[in-house]
């Protein structure tokens, strides 16, 4: 059995610690960072800590009961899938953190783990208020398409998490980029389309989406770019990255098409859905320094809907809150390292 060394006085200097490889000393020093983005993302995450109790869900059941049958189904299926995403991400992050060596990056991952658990708690609070918690959390047992998507997302996470090489670390980081940057987005759009009909769900998703897109996605984009910069990554691994995002697009569209065909709502079309997912995938590729490969189109209505709710300071306080729930802005480029 390998012995874990929590303290290594002969380990690397903090400023020499890489994400993959090496022998760290065991210290977390926020005053000395090898990268500029890790402490910045940590501070932004910490500044924007929120809790589900800050969202007014007192009228959620009454509002849910006023939805059409298709809208209710979309609501339930969306939260069934989103809740799995956060549950899987929390477990994956615990494993990915063990593979990383840079202690400050591990610290940021620790904070993200807490936020993913907070998201899971938010789904429980929301669905309990709505009165259908047990039904929604068990939908994967009864819906083959939902179960299939969950299985495929889980398989992407599991495929490379054994570590052992920089290439595997890079592929594993890509699984998280797919989750944060693709698998959540149509679900967010569906709840925003319902909008004022279910303000509790809408406001809860605002907070969750801001965490995912303003800090979690930039964190793994920077982890990806740093691992790639610090190591000699093979061309076969880059080809595998493209295959992974192609798989993510296919998985997301298969589930999206199923929901649209089974529960059509509010003018969403197959073309709109495809253009939206292709645009997101191209953007994620560009963010990690790779060439886009999907058919490009103008920014879609669904993208604009998500972006609108990412505005940092548009959430007002409500009578359940002790403070205004504004999401602080970052003054530093999170993609700069």
**Residues classed as catalytic:** 123
Q: Where are the beta strands (DSSP E) in the chain?
A: none
CA 181/CA 284 separation, integer angstroms: 7
Kindly report the backbone phi and psi dihedral angles of residue 212, in degrees, each rounded to the nearest multiple of 5, phi listed first.
-65, -45
Rounded-to-integer distance, Cα 86 and Cα 153, Å: 11
Q: How far apart are CA 181 and CA 164, in angstroms?
A: 25
Beta bridge partners of 24: 12
Half-sphere exposure of 29 (CA within 13 A, CB side): 14
Residue 162 backbone phi and psi in degrees, to 5: -75, -10
CB 187 within 8 A of CB 304: no
Residue showing tokens 């699984």: 175
Helices 166-178, 69-99: axis angle to 10 degrees equals 160
**Of 209, 165, 197, 182, residue with least CA distance to 312:** 209
- Residues in contact with 111: Cβ distance below 8 Å, sequence separation at least 6, in sequence order: 42, 45, 46
CA distances from 199 to 62, 203, 259, 317 (A): 11, 6, 22, 13
Dihedral-angle region of residue 20 (phi above 0 means left; psi in -120 to 50 means alpha; beta otherwise) = beta
């Amino acid at each position: 059995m390998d012995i874990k060394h929590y303290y290594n006085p002969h380990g690397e200097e903090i400023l020499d610690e890489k994400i993959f490889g090496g022998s760290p000393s065991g210290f977390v020093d926020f005053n000395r960072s090898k990268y500029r983005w890790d402490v910045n993302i940590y501070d932004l995450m910490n500044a924007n800590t929120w809790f589900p109790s800050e969202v007014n869900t007192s009228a959620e059941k009454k509002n849910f009961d006023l939805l059409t049958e298709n809208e209710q189904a979309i609501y339930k299926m969306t939260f069934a899938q989103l809740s799995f995403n956060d549950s899987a991400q929390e477990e994956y992050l615990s494993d990915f953190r063990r593979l990383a060596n840079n202690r400050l990056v591990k610290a940021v991952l620790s904070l993200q783990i807490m936020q993913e658990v907070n998201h899971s708690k938010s789904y429980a609070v929301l669905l309990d208020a709505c009165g259908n918690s047990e039904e929604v959390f068990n939908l994967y047992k009864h819906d083959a398409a939902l179960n299939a998507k969950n299985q495929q997302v889980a398989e992407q996470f599991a495929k490379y998490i054994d570590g052992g090489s920089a290439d595997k670390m890079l592929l594993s980081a890509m699984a998280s980029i797919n989750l944060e940057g693709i698998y959540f987005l149509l679900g967010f759009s569906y709840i925003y389309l319902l909008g004022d009909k279910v303000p509790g769900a809408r406001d809860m998703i605002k907070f969750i989406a801001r965490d995912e897109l303003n800090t979690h996605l930039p964190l793994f984009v920077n982890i990806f770019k740093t691992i790639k910069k610090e190591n000699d990554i093979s061309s076969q691994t880059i080809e595998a990255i493209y295959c992974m995002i192609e798989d993510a697009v296919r998985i997301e569209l298969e589930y999206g098409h199923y929901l649209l065909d089974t529960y059509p709502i509010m003018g969403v079309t197959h073309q709109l859905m495809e253009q939206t997912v292709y645009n997101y995938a191209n953007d994620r590729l560009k963010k990690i320094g790779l060439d886009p490969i999907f058919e490009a189109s103008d920014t879609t209505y669904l993208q604009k809907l998500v972006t609108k709710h990412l505005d940092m300071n548009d959430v007002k306080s409500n009578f359940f809150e002790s403070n205004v729930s504004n999401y602080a802005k970052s003054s530093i480029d999170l993609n700069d390292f």
